[in-house]
Amino acid sequence: MAVKTEDLHQSPPTTINNPISNNGEVDDEPESEEDDIDEEEEDDEDEDEEESPAMAESNFGSVRAKMSKLANRLKSEPVNLRVHDVIIKGNIKTKDSVIEAEIMDDLKRASTLQEIFQAAAIANVKLRQLDIFDSVNFTLDSGPMELPGTANVVVEVVEAKSPLTGEIGVFTKPGARSWSLEGGLKLKNLLGYADVWDGSVSYGWDQTTEVSTGVSLPRIRHWPSPIFARASLLSQDWLKFSSYKEQAVGFGLGLISTRNHEMVYNLTWRTLTDPSQMAGESVRRQLGHSLLSSLKYTYKVDKRNSPLRPTQGYAYSFTTLLAGLNPDSRSARFLRQECDFRYALPLGFYRAALNLGVSAGLLFPWGRGFLDRPSSLPDRFFMGGNTSPVCALGGPSSVLGFKCRGLGPTEPRRQTRDKPDDDSTAGPERDAVGGDLAVSAFADLSFDLPLRVLKDAGIHGHIFASTGNLVKLTENEWRKFSTKNFMQSFRSTVGCGIIVPTNLFRMEVNYCHIVRQFDHDHGKTGVQFSFSSPL
């Protein structure tokens, strides 16, 4: 029996070349050698005889009837068959163990022909997701003669001709980055274990510079999920918003990475400085060095039909970060919890959909005297920025219409003789210090524009409303917390805009109207532009 399938996940196999009995059923045992000799002799005798058209049509009809009967049997009842062996071909650099780890479990559990087809389709997808093969084909062949009812699976792969790839882009990031230029290189399958080595550089104007390198492995021995390691050097300039600069040298190790679960350990040495000597009191108290040893776990489910323009489905995520796993008492010790819920409701006209979302986050220190201690400044929640909350999933999102770190608790900066407190030209100088409790929500109605050329290009409009608030709870501020005051102090904005998706970036042009803001908030009614990654 030989069944060859190409791209099983796209088109199920339909062609089967197999010894078939007169009643249309698959023979469990192959033909004997004597039968093969007799058939060869008969073929030799018939070579000189010309087959008549009537006989050829009759044979074709017989084969078609047998194949039709076999197809009906595959649909109506299982055909008992199990995998005897898996034969791998075409891998020059890739280790056999890497391919076997992705396909063996599913194929070995199959007990019928239908289950083998299904397992082969799943295995095909898994191999393609490694992103090291140009093509993957599966062929089903008959097993040993002494083991009837068995089959061999032949896996033929073609390794990628160009293992080195690169990309570059200019776009915005939520919160931490306004404009950024990012580029990266990837080297695939260097050691033959489907390993991916990458290096990236990100430069954000006046804010962020990051250089990082890492390696990821799809599977090590019997570990059930991919593992990755990454080293990075990060520099963030928050002088304009919070009067400090942050430099971090870190190492991250991914322990679990599946569709719904992710667990990462991070070890980071951070340094906060204030070159301007203008930071407020609470910022100055946190200047200097600190060690962050943390374990981060994320559980995420995304059933939306698109992460960029969802028109139906739901999504939610929960993220827990526990910091302070090292014995040094001077290291940052805190627990950070984030949750996010999204729902997209189709409306049935102009591809319109109503997206609703609510996010919340809580941060508090732990250890001796944690109620009196301040929380870690770089790990607090900050709000503001012009990134659409529809695309973000994982925590309190931005509130459109407000600048980066443009709402929430602030404190006055130090005043100098050159800039006295009553200097009207300089305006109020305050540092955004973030909050320990943050909540945000949004509603977004997206719809196709009436012009066909815009619809075909994916350009669409939306009407939105967003709101959010964050407060400080540490240093005994929780004693002053009031649910009523917290709900009454939400900032909010409404607006409309046009979204232009391209292969290089995703652009939003929004008009935002600030409905509510408070003293020291940085919100402005008007037009905002936003560029983000197309992924």
Interhelix angle 96-109/113-129, nearest 10 degrees: 150
Q: What is the pLDDT of residue 460?
A: 93
Beta pairing class for 196-204 and 180-188:
antiparallel
**237: burial class by Cβ within 10 Å (0-12, 13-18, 19+)?**
middle
Count the Cβ atoms, other than its own, within 10 Å of residue 349: 8
Q: Are 174 and 208 in contact (CB under 8 A)?
A: no
Token readout for 386 is: 């012009």
Q: Are 203 and 173 in contact (CB under 8 A)?
A: no
Average the pLDDT over 327-345 and give the result.
88
Looking at per-residue pLDDT, the higher value among 416 and 497 belongs to 497
Of 435, 416, 421, 410, nearest to 281 by C-alpha is: 410
461 three-state secondary structure: strand
Average pLDDT over residues 116-139: 87
Q: Residue 64: is its pLDDT beyond 90?
A: no
Q: How far apart are CA 282 and CA 275, in angstroms?
A: 16
- Read off the pLDDT of residues 240-289 as tens digits, 9 standing for 90 and up: 889 999 999 999 999 888 889 999 999 999 999 999 888 888 899 999 98
- What is the rounded CA–CA span in Å between residue 32 and residue 17? 18
Distance of CA 343 to CAs 122, 216, 390, 393, Å?
29, 33, 10, 12
Confidence of residue 71 (pLDDT cuts 50, 70, 90): low
The continuous run of DSSP H or E covering 409 comes out as none
Distance CA 390, CA 387 (A): 9
Q: What integer pLDDT is reported at residue 170 of this predicted model?
A: 64
Cα separation, 458 vs 500, in Å, equals 7
Please tell me the predicted confidence (pLDDT) of residue 301.
Answer: 93
Of 99-113, 297-311, 414-428, 497-511, the range with the highest mean pLDDT is: 297-311
33: left (phi over 0), alpha (psi -120 to 50) or beta: alpha
Residue 32 confidence (pLDDT): 44
270 contact partners, CB below 8 Å, separation of at least 6:
246, 247, 248, 289, 290, 291, 292, 378
pLDDT of residue 171: 60
Domains in the chain and their CATH numbers?
A: 73-159 (3.10.20.310), 164-413+428-532 (2.40.160.50)
Q: Which amino acid is at 48?
A: D
* CA distances (Å), origin 76, targets 8, 82, 111, 128: 21, 19, 16, 31
> CA 107, CA 113: separation in Å to the nearest integer?
11
pLDDT at 86 over 80: yes
Q: Is the pLDDT of residue 298 over 90?
A: yes
Separation CA 26–CA 150 (nearest Å): 12
The dihedral region occupied by 126, where left means phi > 0, alpha psi between -120 and 50, and beta the remainder, is alpha
- Exposed e or buried b per residue across 267-287, where buried means at least 16 C-beta atoms within 10 angstroms of its C-beta: ebebebebeeebbbebbbebb
Q: Give the global pTM.
A: 0.74
Return the pLDDT at 380.
92
Confidence band, pLDDT 50/70/90 cuts, at residue 175: very low
* Average pLDDT rounded to a whole number, residues 460-480: 91
Report pLDDT for 102: 83
pLDDT, one tens digit per residue, over 201-239 is: 888 766 678 888 999 888 766 666 788 899 999 898 888
Between 5-9, 367-371, 464-468, the lowest mean confidence (pLDDT) is in: 5-9
523 vs 118: CA distance, rounded Å: 55
**Stretch 180-193: mean pLDDT, rounded?**
84
Yes or no: say if 194 and 128 are a contact pair by the CB < 8 Å rule.
no
**Would you state the structure tokens that stand for residue 475, as one six-digit string?**
């240093």
Per DSSP, 433 falls in state -
More confident residue, 357 or 391: 357
In sequence order, which ranges of 336-491 are alpha helices (DSSP H)?
A: 452-456, 483-488
Mean pLDDT of all residues in 496-509: 86
Distance CA 356, CA 348 (A): 17
Residue 330, classed as helix, strand or coil, is coil
Q: Which residue in 434, 467, 471 sits closest to 358, CA to CA?
A: 467
Q: How confident is the model at residue 148 (pLDDT cuts 50, 70, 90)?
A: confident
Among 37-41, 337-341, 451-455, 527-531, the range with the most confident prediction by mean pLDDT is 337-341
Residue pair 85/152 in contact (Cβ under 8 Å)? The answer is yes
Q: Give the residues across from 288 on adjacent strands.
A: 272
In this prediction, residue 417 has a pLDDT band, given cuts at 50, 70 and 90, of: low
pLDDT band at 22 (very low <50, low <70, confident <90, very high): very low
Higher-scoring residue by pLDDT: 409, 502: 409
Q: How confident is the model at residue 70 (pLDDT cuts 50, 70, 90)?
A: low
Whether the per-residue pLDDT at 98 is higher than 80: the answer is: yes
The pLDDT value given to residue 191? 86
Say whether pLDDT at 17 is over 60.
no
Beta strands 82-89; 150-159: pairing state: parallel
Mean pLDDT value across residues 190-208: 82
pLDDT above 70 (res 21): no
Say what the pLDDT of residue 26 is. Answer: 40
Tell me the two tokens of residue 48. Answer: 């000189």
